[in-house]
Amino acid sequence: MSDAPLLLSSEIPSSSPITDLAVVEMGGTSLVVCTDLNGAVWTWDPQRDLWQKRLMAYAFAGDPLAVQYPDAENELDSVAAAVSGGRVLLAAGGSEQGSALWDLESGEVLRGAMYGDPYVGSMATLTGEGPPLFVTGADAGVRVWGLSVEEPLVELPDSDIDGICAVATARINGRSLVVAGGGDVGVWDLAGDEQLASFYPDDGRIEAVAVSRIADRPIVVAAAEPGEIYVWGLSGDEAEGPVHDPITGHEGGICAMDTATVGNRSLAVTGGEDATVRMWDLAEGVGIGAPLTGHRGGVAVVRTTVLRGREVALSAGRDGVIRAWDLAALLS
């Protein structure tokens, strides 16, 4: 195994910018699901470097208004995915389309959208006990929903954050947490009926959020458009102050972020308008190593996962290329 940080890279066959991606484990291998700027859904098998375009049935087919738009197609730019009952489920929506759920392999709509549904700013999956849940962030608030159309959408209280464009989930100390960011940051415990905490950046719009830990201490991490990373403590049912001053380093705004724990170090990995990927130590509030270069244009999405038994960060964006960075190699 090479100790070079770049494990592999691959370009989407459409050569279009990649707008979002999700990763699932199926049959012992990883499958990457992504959307491109044309609103199309693609999958990438990194083991075989195999791309496949996936045709998803029109999400609004069950809406009576759909007959007025016979040539309409899906316009998807946010995705989440989960494995349930031996199949991959795709939840997706976009800035011009509400969220829906599909069987990825067949393209069948399992839970359709309706005209008038809130447009999607971001999506995430919550897995753990029981069937997977999906979280949608939109201007109308944060909604949690399941596989069955008989299960109602649950709108989280006080989630009308201005311009939500980032949501994330985590299971921390047995609690199912949802965090959303836009003009500010909110955190909810799905077992409760109130917002757990709120955080406010000094400046700029929040572009990405996560819940992580420093040792046993839960933290909320948020990346702001001006190029700052905020780290706040989260103790019990109360918000704590910042762990340290905002972290800076990108030459321009931050577009994407995810977190990971490698060894005993809590990390954030970010992608920026400056076409670089960077790694940060969340406990110390400092950058790790040199910027990772190679992308042509801004990095729109970063996801941490495991490939080939290695903790990696996947980055993608305007150049239509997914790159897999070996996080352990970056720490050595």
Contact predicate 230/210, CB 8 Å: no
- Residue type for position 287: G
- Express each pLDDT in 82-134 by its tens digit: 999 999 999 999 998 999 999 999 999 999 998 888 899 999 999 877 889 99
Report the Cα–Cα distance between both ends of the chain, in Å, rounded: 14
Q: Where do we find the tokens 């996936």? A: 54
- Express each pLDDT in 249-258 by its tens digit: 898 899 999 9
Count of all residues that appear for the chain in the document = 332
pLDDT for the residue 237:
63
Name residues whose C-beta falls within 8 Å of residue 4's C-beta, 6 or more positions apart in sequence: 326, 329
Residue 59 reports pLDDT greater than 50: yes
Mean pLDDT of 20-47: 94
Burial label, 296 (beta-carbon count in 10 A; 0-12, 13-18, 19+): exposed
Contact predicate 327/312, CB 8 Å: yes
Mean pLDDT of 279-288: 96
Q: Are strands 185-189 and 195-199 parallel, antiparallel or unpaired?
A: antiparallel
Name residues whose C-beta falls within 8 Å of residue 238's C-beta, 6 or more positions apart in sequence: 197
Instruction: List the domain boundaries for the chain.
Output: 40-155
Mean pLDDT of 140-162: 86
Residue 192 reports pLDDT greater than 80: no
Residue 4 reports pLDDT greater than 80: no
DSSP three-state, residue 330: helix
Question: Structure tokens of 301?
Answer: 């999405």
Question: Structure tokens of 294?
Answer: 């190679």
Closest C-alpha among 21, 99, 6, 7 to residue 299: 21
290 CA to centre of own chain: 24
The Cα–Cα gap between 284 and 297 comes to: 29
Burial label, 237 (beta-carbon count in 10 A; 0-12, 13-18, 19+): exposed
Q: Is the dihedral of CA 212, 21, 100, 38 positive or negative?
A: positive
Mean pLDDT of 169-188: 92
pLDDT for the residue 1:
35
pLDDT for the residue 2:
42
- Residue type for position 267: L
Concatenated DSSP letters for 237-290? TEEEEESSSPEE--SS-EEEEEEEEETTEEEEEEEETTS-EEEEETTTTEEEEE
DSSP three-state, residue 65: helix
49 CA to centre of own chain: 22
Contact predicate 203/253, CB 8 Å: no
Name residues whose C-beta falls within 8 Å of residue 60's C-beta, 6 or more positions apart in sequence: 66, 69, 72, 112, 113, 114, 115
Residue 148 reports pLDDT greater than 50: yes
- Residue type for position 309: G
pTM (global) more than 0.85: yes
